[in-house]
Amino acid sequence: MTSPKAYASILAAVLLWSASFVLVKIGLTEVTPIYLAALRFSIATVIFAGCALAKFEMRQIKTFTKDNFAMLLALGIVGVTLPNISQNLGMRYITASMSSILQNSSPAFTLILASIFLHESLGYRKMSGLALSLIGVTIISLNGGFSPLGDSMVFYGNLMLIFSAVCYSIYTIIGKKIVANNSPLLILATSTLMGTVLLNIISITVEPVELAYSVNIWGVVLGLSILCTVIGTLLYFEALKELEASKTNFFTFLIPVFAVIQASVFLSERIYPYQIVCGVLVIVGIWLAQTE
């Protein structure tokens, strides 16, 4: 039986992750896309590494990294490097709410991958819950004016966020395999380091290095690093210990719901009644999937 702590952890994680869409949108007003991702994960990597060094001996870290190098590198690429580049590039052209629906379409991909690689069941309730939640988040993110083919750059942004969603689905599958017998902190510290090194190499190659940003922008970067990346990801891996990968990803349908609320508070965006109704659909869909 899944403990209440696991559900609390995943709910807290998606709440923090939902804030990243608002923060990234603000950050992109001054910082170039790939460099914003590089700053975010460079700070997060330092924190992860410091925590790992405080908890584990260097010998343990070296042995763990050597034994799991390929899987950790894969986690770094599909969990840090690729999805954050594509997300930030795409968010230059589409709204935060549209970004949330596209990136968090990952449960659909995870459902299929989990059935193939983790042999998780694809029952009626999971499929029904997926459909119901997808309807809810789609309507929430339309905002009355979505036209995917109406603007070439909007379409490009959509593709970038969908690619990001696929990356996170693969990340969940790999993470589920490695987290069963290993420390989430050790996994995150090593895989994030690998992904961030690649991210920084790409950033330095294609974008200028700049540190003279406003206090508000540095606050955004720190929020993305500490809250959304470090704390959010640690909570997610704790939940992944008990929850099936496909069930865990159903909770990501709550991210657009939380993002709409946060956008209304911090960006003065209006909340419409239909968004509240669709939020209820999302919650019902998640409940339905969890009862299988």
How do residues 111-140 score in pLDDT, each as one tens digit?
777 777 777 777 778 788 778 877 877 776
Write out the DSSP string of 265-291. Answer: HHS-PPPPHHHHHHHHHHHHHHHHHHT
- Band of the pLDDT at 290, cuts 50, 70, 90? low
Instruction: Determine, yes or no, domain membership for 96.
Output: yes
pLDDT at 148 (0 to 100): 47
Q: Which position has the token pair 């869909």?
A: 285
Range of the structural domain that residue 173 is part of: 4-120+147-243
- Band of the pLDDT at 268, cuts 50, 70, 90? confident
Q: Which position has the token pair 């990356």?
A: 167
Instruction: Determine, yes or no, domain membership for 166.
Output: yes
Instruction: Determine, yes or no, domain membership for 194.
Output: yes
Mean pLDDT of 183-191: 89
Instruction: Determine, yes or no, domain membership for 138.
Output: no
Instruction: Determine, yes or no, domain membership for 277.
Output: no
- Choose between 194 and 168: higher pLDDT: 194
Q: Across the chain, what does the average pLDDT equal?
A: 84
Based on the structure, what is the number of domains in the chain? 1
Lowest-confidence segment of 21-25, 43-47, 157-161 by average pLDDT: 157-161
Instruction: Determine, yes or no, domain membership for 251.
Output: no
Q: What is the pTM of this model?
A: 0.81
pLDDT at 114 (0 to 100): 76
Instruction: Determine, yes or no, domain membership for 128.
Output: no
Instruction: Determine, yes or no, domain membership for 278.
Output: no
